[in-house]
Amino acid sequence: MKKRFLMILSLILLVFLSLSANAQEINAGDTAWLSAASALVMLMTPASGFVGPISSIIIGLVAGVLSNYVASWRATRTRIDDTLDVFACHGVAGIWGALATGLFASAAVNKVNGLFFGNPMQLAYQAIAVAVVALYAFIGSYLLLKGLSLVMNIRVSKEEEDIGLDKSQHQEEAYT
């Protein structure tokens, strides 16, 4: 019961951090809270059966900071059009959750220890898994886009791009 309470508390902290960092941007129809909540799934799924409650709080706090940093960096320093900060929420939280499993895994919770409990190979296994999944996702996405481009237009019109994809495709005013 105590473990479940601390796990829920860490998830609430992640939502709070995600929302508070972007509080000035949130309005009545904003989807930032939904992005933050879905990041929780990406974050804790890899580690959920392998880490203790204190570790889950640390993982949640780091994920909130990392995700917000990546979202802010993308918005202010790049021209990448990631309308709903999908990579910042899902990609960064998922990568951190997988790597954090390699750091914080405990045999007291399951039968595997991570780096902080004397098994540095677990972090290596997690890093290899992250790299393999990233490569698989890239190749799969590339092939799907190439296949779709043979039968349909995969780019929006110049007018829609000038308006901004947030507005023209999602009826959001996040970055326009």
Query: Could you give the percent of the chain with pLDDT greater than 90?
Result: 32
Domain-located, residue 97? yes
Cα separation, 31 vs 91, whole angstroms: 17
Query: Could you give the percent of the chain with pLDDT greater than 70?
Result: 73
Domain-located, residue 161? no
Domain-located, residue 105? yes
Domain-located, residue 142? no
**Domain total for the chain?**
1
Domain-located, residue 174? no
| pLDDT tens-place string over residues 57-71 | 888 888 888 888 888
Q: Which residue has the higher pLDDT, 176 or 151?
A: 151
What is the secondary structure of 118-172 as a DSSP string? T-HHHHHHHHHHHHHHHHHHHHHHHHHHHHHHHHS--S--HHHHHH-HHHHHH--
pTM over 0.75: no
Asked if residues 44 and 62 have their Cβ atoms less than 8 Å apart, the reply is no
Per-residue confidence (pLDDT) for residue 78, from 0 to 100: 83
Q: Which residue has the higher pLDDT, 174 or 166?
A: 166
Domain residue limits at 72: 2-135
Asked if residues 87 and 39 have their Cβ atoms less than 8 Å apart, the reply is no
Domain-located, residue 22? yes
Residue 137 pLDDT > 70: yes
Residue 129 pLDDT > 90: yes
